[in-house]
Chains A and B, each alone.
Chain A
């Protein structure tokens, strides 16, 4: 079956630090990969996505590259801000979409000023 494993949190960083949140996956076929973010008091929202190997998704200074050879989709940001504090979820969907998204457990990121 499909599964997503992401690093446990909470992850606590100082403002302007470099961020990496690791995500690896197991899936049949060629899934699309996503990072969703949940800010305090808000619903989940799509941060970025990649649909095929070597694609790089990017948004709001965050980036992630679809690595088929290592089955990974690590989230990175060069300089985090306090406003980036949130819970980040890595997710995948197999081709077709009828199986829904498979999410990781989430990583709580805390940025201190």
Chain B
């Protein structure tokens, strides 16, 4: 059983650029969610995808967007990068059945630095 993998692990961008982060879900999981973790803070929910559709979103602007593919892998795209977007971006997968359990399996994250 493979875990959640994310790429790249580290990247540096400049303000105004665009970035795409990628995530491969744990085998058998049908739901993927993304979180932003600023230094010294807890993760903050960005959005969640189930069956290739966004079915939940946190308090993030539209320049944060995502995709989920038929194989349940996912992308997080951020346009018009700002300095405050510098953070660790975490992908988490889960298996959602009749009820939501909140048991998420996290990757190690992609650390984004915006200069």
Contact = CB atoms under 8 A, between A and B. Distances in A.
A105 B39 CA distance: 10
Contact of B48 (A89, A95, A98): A98
Given A42-B108, A43-B106, A49-B102, A99 B40 contact: no
Contacts of B1: none
Dominant secondary structure of chain A at its interface with chain B: loop
A43 B103 contact: no
A93 interface: yes
B35 A105 contact: no
A100 B41 contact: no
Contact of A43 (B41, B48, B108): B108
B102 A32 contact: yes
A103 interface: yes
Contacts of A104: 42
B4 A97 contact: no
Contact of A34 (B4, B96, B102, B107): B102
User: Contact residue range for chain B?
Assistant: 20 to 34
Given A44-B43, A105-B40, A105-B41, A98 B56 contact: yes
A89 B102 contact: no
Contacts of A34: 102
Nearest to B3: A43
B68 interface: no
B56 A99 contact: yes
A96 B104 contact: no
A95 B33 CA distance: 17
Contact of A97 (B41, B43, B56, B108): B56
